[in-house]
Structure 1
Amino acid sequence: MAARQTLLLCLGLCVLLLCLTLSLALGSRSVPLSTVFDALSGAGRHADPDVQVVTGLRVPRTVLGLVVGAALGAAGAIAQGATRNPLASPTTLGVNAGASFAVVTAIYVLRLTRPVEYVWFAVAGAALAACAAHAMARRSGDLDPTRLALGGTVLATVLTSWTSALMLASRRTLDEARFWLVGSLDGRGLEVLTPVLPLLLLGLVLAIAVTPALNALALGDEAAQALGVPVARIRATAGLAVVLLAAGAVAVAGPIAFVGLAAPHLCRQLLGNDHRVLLPGCLIGGPILLLAADVLGRLVIRPAELEVGIVTAFLGAPLLAVLARRTTR
C-alpha cells in the first residue's frame, strides 16, 4: 500500500471519528461535547436528561449507522468489481428492492411486527433478486454489465410496484412497513443487530476473500481465466457477499439508497482502482456518508427530522445521473 493511500485511510478514520462525535452530540436536542464524553465514560449522572439522550438514543443510532454504512459501502465495492459495472450497487441491482418486497410480504402474510423478525425474509428476497438480475444479464455464457444494470433497474421497479400494491391492500401492513421502508436509523435498539451480525461478518469475510481476484476480473473474464482466476466461483462468492451485506443492512435500517453506489466511487477517486485498498476505504467511507446524512436530516428541519433514507435519496439522485452520463460516454 502506497504512503499516500495509507495517509488517506488515516484521514478517513479521523473524519469518521468526527462524524461519530457529531452523531452523538447533534440533533433536535444538542448535547455539549463534555456531556457526551462523560456519558460514554460513565462519569455523567444517569438522571441527567442529556446523558439519557446520549446513552439511550444516540449511541444505538450511531452504532447502527456505523455498521449499516460499512455494510453498504463494502457491498457496493464488491458489486461494482464483480460485475465490472460502475453503476452496480445493492440498489441498482434490485437487491434492496427484493429484500423490501420479501419483508413487506412477510408482514402482510405472517403479520410480523418486529425488525428482528425480518432478517431471514430480507436475505431470501435479496438472494432471489440478485439471481434474477444475474440471469437477465447473461449473454452467451458471459455477464453483460450493461444488461445487468438495466435488468436490475427494471427488476427494482417491478418489485417496488408490487411492494406498494401490498401496502395499499392492507392498512395494517402500510402502518407497519412504511416507517421501515423509508430507511431510518431512529427508533431501533442494538438488539436488532443480534441476528444480523453473523450474516454481516460472513459477508465481510467473503468480500475480503474475493478482493484480490477482483483486480483480475477488471481485465475481463477471458484475461482473468488466463491468469488462473476461477471466474464463476469468484463471481458467485462475490454475489453471496453482496447479498449477505445488503440484506443485513436492509433488515436493520430499511432500504437506504445510494450509499452503496456513492462510497465506492468517491473512494476510487481518492484511492485508485486496487480493490485491496478500495474495500477498506469503503468500510470507512460508507459510514461517513450515512452518518453525515443522518446528522443532516436531524438539523435541516429542526426540531423535526428527515429520515436518513430520504436524505441519501435526495443527495444521491443527482450523483446517479452524473455517473450514468459518464458511463454512457
Structure 2
Amino acid sequence: MEQLRKQQLNKEETKKRILKRFESRSALFYFLLGVVALIATMILSISFGAVDINWTTIRESILHFDEYDTNHLILYDLRFPRVIAAALVGAFLAISGVIMQGLTRNPLASPSIMGVSSGAGFMVAVAFALFPETSQGGLMIWSFLGAGLGVGLVFSIGLISKRGLTPVKLALGGAAVSILLQSASTMLAMYFNVTRDISFWYAGGVAGVSPASVQLAVIVAFVGIVFSVGLSRSLTLMSLGDEVAKGLGQKIGLIRLIGVLIVLLLTGTAVSISGTIGFIGLVIPHITKKLIGMDYRWIIPFSAIFGAWLLVTADIAARIINPPYETPVGALTALIGVPFFLVLARRDGRGWK
C-alpha cells in the first residue's frame, strides 16, 4: 500500500515538473494583448456598416435601449449578433484545431482539412433538401452528425492505407472526403432546388445571423470551452507521446473520446451558424504555439481569443473589399490558410517545433 502511494506521488511530481517546464512567461502578456485587440476590433465591427454608428450610440444602446431608435434596433437585430457570432465561430474553429492537433500530434489537422467542416456542411444540405422547416437547433444537430460522418470517413481511409495514419495521408484523405461531400451537397442542392441556401453555407459568412443562433452558440461556447480547458492538462502530457502519458496515469482512450466530442460540438455549431469557413483551425494553433510555447493550458484560451479576432477582422475586410457587396469570409481565410497548409505539407507534417 505504501509503495502504491509512493508511486502515485512520484507520478504527480513528474507531471508537475513537466507542466512547469511548459510554462511560458510571456503567455499572460500575449493573452491580455489579444483580449484588448479583440475588444477593439469588435467595437470597430459594430460601428462599421451602411449606417455609421459612433461609440456613444453603442454605449447608450447597451445602457438605455430605446426600441424606437433606429440605430439601437440596427445594433440589436443585426450588428451585435453578427460580431458575437463571428467571435464565437472563430474561437470554436481555433479550439477545434488545437484539440485535433493535440490528440493526433498531426500539425496538418484542422476541421476544414480533416473533413469535419465538409461533413457538417453536407448534413446541413440534407436538412435543407429534405426538411426545409428545420429550426436552428435542428440544424445544429444535423451539423453535429455530419461532423461525425466526416471524421469517421477520413480516419477510415487512413486506417486502411499502408503505414497507417501519417499526417500527409490524413490530410489527403481529408481533402478527398471534403471534395466528395461537397460534390454530394451540390447534387442535393440542384436536385431539390436549394442551391442558394447551400451556396451560402459553403461560401461562409456571418451576415444575417439571427439572435436565436447567437443565444444557442453562447450556451455551446460555455460548455465547449469549459471542457476544453479541463482537457488542456492532459493534452500537454499527451504531446510527449502516448507511452509517456500512460505512464503518468492518463487514460488515452477516454481523453481522445472527450476531445473528439468537443470538436464535433464546436465545429458542428460553427458550421450551422456561419457555413464552412476554413483554415482558422490550422493557422491559429501554430501561431499560438510559436508565441507562448507548448502548454495547452495557455494554448486553448489564447487560440480562442486569436481565432475570434481573426474572424472578426476578416468579417470587416469582407465588407470593405467590394462595397456595397460582401466578399465571402471563407475566401479571405483561405487566402491565408492555403499557403500556410502548403508549407506544412512540404515539411511532410513535421510542423513548427
- In structure 1, C-alpha distance between the alignment counterparts of 2:241 and 2:174, rounded to whole Å: 21
Contact 1:28 1:302 in 2 (8 A): no
Does 1:134 pair with 2:179?
Answer: no
Contact 1:101 1:125 in 2 (8 A): yes
| 1:245 pairs with one of 259, 266, 283 | 266
Q: Shift in Å at residue 157 of structure 1?
A: 1.5
Q: Shift in Å at residue 310 of structure 1?
A: 2.6
- In structure 2, C-alpha distance between the alignment counterparts of 1:22 and 1:198, rounded to whole Å: 25
- In structure 2, C-alpha distance between the alignment counterparts of 1:201 and 1:153, rounded to whole Å: 31
Does 1:307 pair with 2:323?
Answer: no
Contact 1:200 1:244 in 2 (8 A): no
Between the two proteins, the alignment pairs up a number of residues equal to 327
- In structure 1, C-alpha distance between the alignment counterparts of 2:255 and 2:168, rounded to whole Å: 20
Q: Shift in Å at residue 88 of structure 1?
A: 0.7
Report the equivalent of 2:36. Answer: 14
| 2:178 pairs with one of 144, 156, 168 | 156
Report the equivalent of 1:292. Answer: 313
| 1:68 pairs with one of 86, 89, 94 | 89
Which letter maps to 2:64?
Answer: G
Relative to structure 1, is the Cα distance of residues 74 and 328 closer, same or farther in structure 2, using a 3 angstrom cutoff?
Answer: closer
| 1:214 pairs with one of 235, 249, 253 | 235
Contact 1:119 1:196 in 2 (8 A): no
Matched position secondary structure for 2:189: helix
Report the equivalent of 2:47. Answer: 25
Q: Shift in Å at residue 150 of structure 1?
A: 2.3
- In structure 1, C-alpha distance between the alignment counterparts of 2:245 and 2:153, rounded to whole Å: 24
Report the equivalent of 1:174. Answer: 195
Report the equivalent of 1:147. Answer: 169
**Identity percentage of aligned residues:** 32
Q: 1:199-258: per-residue Cα shift (whole Å, max 9, x none)?
A: 443333332232111122222223322333222221121111111110011111111111
- In structure 2, C-alpha distance between the alignment counterparts of 1:260 and 1:205, rounded to whole Å: 18
Relative to structure 1, is the Cα distance of residues 41 and 199 closer, same or farther in structure 2, using a 3 angstrom cutoff?
Answer: closer
Contact 1:28 1:304 in 2 (8 A): no
- In structure 1, C-alpha distance between the alignment counterparts of 2:285 and 2:319, rounded to whole Å: 25
Relative to structure 1, is the Cα distance of residues 129 and 272 closer, same or farther in structure 2, using a 3 angstrom cutoff?
Answer: same
Q: Shift in Å at residue 39 of structure 1?
A: 2.5
Contact 2:139 2:272 in 1 (8 A): yes
Which letter maps to 1:250?
Answer: V
Q: Shift in Å at residue 89 of structure 1?
A: 0.7
- In structure 2, C-alpha distance between the alignment counterparts of 1:87 and 1:284, rounded to whole Å: 21
Contact 1:23 1:62 in 2 (8 A): yes
Report the equivalent of 1:80. Answer: 101
| 2:252 pairs with one of 231, 234, 257 | 231
Which letter maps to 2:124?
Answer: V
* TM-score (norm. length: structure 1): 0.91
- In structure 1, C-alpha distance between the alignment counterparts of 2:329 and 2:135, rounded to whole Å: 20
Q: 1:143-164: per-residue Cα shift (whole Å, max 9, x none)?
A: 5433322222221121111111
Q: Which segments of 5 or more consecutive residues in structure 1 lack a partner in the other structure?
A: none
- In structure 2, C-alpha distance between the alignment counterparts of 1:33 and 1:193, rounded to whole Å: 22
Report the equivalent of 1:105. Answer: 126
Q: Which segments of 5 or more consecutive residues in structure 2 lack a partner in the other structure?
A: 1-22
- In structure 1, C-alpha distance between the alignment counterparts of 2:36 and 2:140, rounded to whole Å: 32
- In structure 1, C-alpha distance between the alignment counterparts of 2:143 and 2:189, rounded to whole Å: 17
- In structure 2, C-alpha distance between the alignment counterparts of 1:114 and 1:184, rounded to whole Å: 19
Contact 1:203 1:240 in 2 (8 A): no
Contact 1:83 1:143 in 2 (8 A): no
Matched position secondary structure for 2:61: helix
Q: Shift in Å at residue 286 of structure 1?
A: 0.9
Where do residues 257-296 of structure 1 align in structure 2 (5 Å cutoff)? 257-296=278-317
Which letter maps to 2:224?
Answer: G
Matched position secondary structure for 1:138: helix
| 2:71 pairs with one of 47, 50, 62 | 50
Relative to structure 1, is the Cα distance of residues 198 and 133 closer, same or farther in structure 2, using a 3 angstrom cutoff?
Answer: farther
Question: Rg: which structure is higher?
Answer: 2
Q: Shift in Å at residue 56 of structure 1?
A: 2.4
Q: 1:68-113: per-residue Cα shift (whole Å, max 9, x none)?
A: 1111111111111111111111111100000111110121122336
Contact 1:23 1:291 in 2 (8 A): yes
